[in-house]
Amino acid sequence: MTASAGTTSFLSLLGQTWTFRMSPNQLLPSPDLNWQASKADVLGGEAGMVLSGAWRLMLLGDGSPTRHFQLLTGYPVEIGLIAMAANDSIDAQTGGPPPPEISELNGPLLRRQVWLHCGPQTLAWAESWWNQSQADAYLQERDQPIWRSLTTHRAELFREVDGLAQVDAPWLAERFGHRGPFWSRHYRFFRGGRELTVIREVFSPELERWLGPARAGEATQG
């Protein structure tokens, strides 16, 4: 069951119980990092060798997950906006570390967090960091996927995947309906040779329904 806004949620997994509060327009703490590939391995195509081919393409390819989700499920991707807030707010200072590439963005920074839904399924969670003026320019429709916002005028974009990780958080486990850790990646969008935004995505194990097991050689749990 998903906690409603402004309520306290109790989650019990692996014999442990967590209590956390979710409020409307409040940033969630970034997930904790369990493991992270080196940037050199990610850029060199050597990261994620334990992953199946389909999952490696999803996590390390430069395609749009929004488009992939729609093609896989047959449902359009809908965005559930959690919050947009200044990156120096109290809420933004909790949780795991942000991607180091955000240091390349000009301040002041804004942070945006969303759920990505296809039909009844929540397939991913994402957070992104923006220069405030860039966010005002490119995120005017804040309830639509970033890729759709950025390509409205068919401007050329370049995506560079910089990180692959496994992360965990009790609120992710609750929303996805699966135990962690969860596969995650982060990347940058460039426009005109300059960094536009840094995005981190965390993927639900529910994607195994379409992609097969995340780890190569494992059977899908029926």
Residues 39-55 pLDDT 10s: 999 999 999 999 999 99
Look at residue 21 in the predicted model and tell me its pLDDT: 44
* Average pLDDT of the residues in 195-213: 95
Cα–Cα separations (whole angstroms), residue 216 to 48, 55, 56, 171, 212: 10, 9, 10, 27, 9
The residue with greater pLDDT, 14 or 50, is 50
Determine the distance from the C-alpha atom of residue 203 to the mean position of all C-alpha atoms in its chain, rounded to a whole number: 7
pTM over 0.85: no
Burial 192-202 (b: 16+ CB within 10 A, else e): eeebbbbbbbb
Q: Is the dihedral of CA 14, 18, 23, 29 positive or negative?
A: negative
The residue with greater pLDDT, 153 or 19, is 153
Question: Please, what are the domains in the chain?
Answer: 44-98+109-211 (3.40.1410.10)
Cα–Cα separations (whole angstroms), residue 220 to 56, 125, 175, 176: 17, 22, 21, 17
Question: How far apart, in whole angstroms, are the C-alpha atoms of residue 210 and residue 146?
Answer: 23
* Average pLDDT of the residues in 205-212: 96
Q: Are 86 and 108 in contact (CB under 8 A)?
A: yes
What backbone phi and psi angles, to 5 degrees, belong to 40? -60, -40
Look at residue 19 in the predicted model and tell me its pLDDT: 39
pLDDT of 24 higher than 90: no
- In whole numbers, what is the pLDDT of the chain averaged over residues? 82
pLDDT of 82 higher than 50: yes
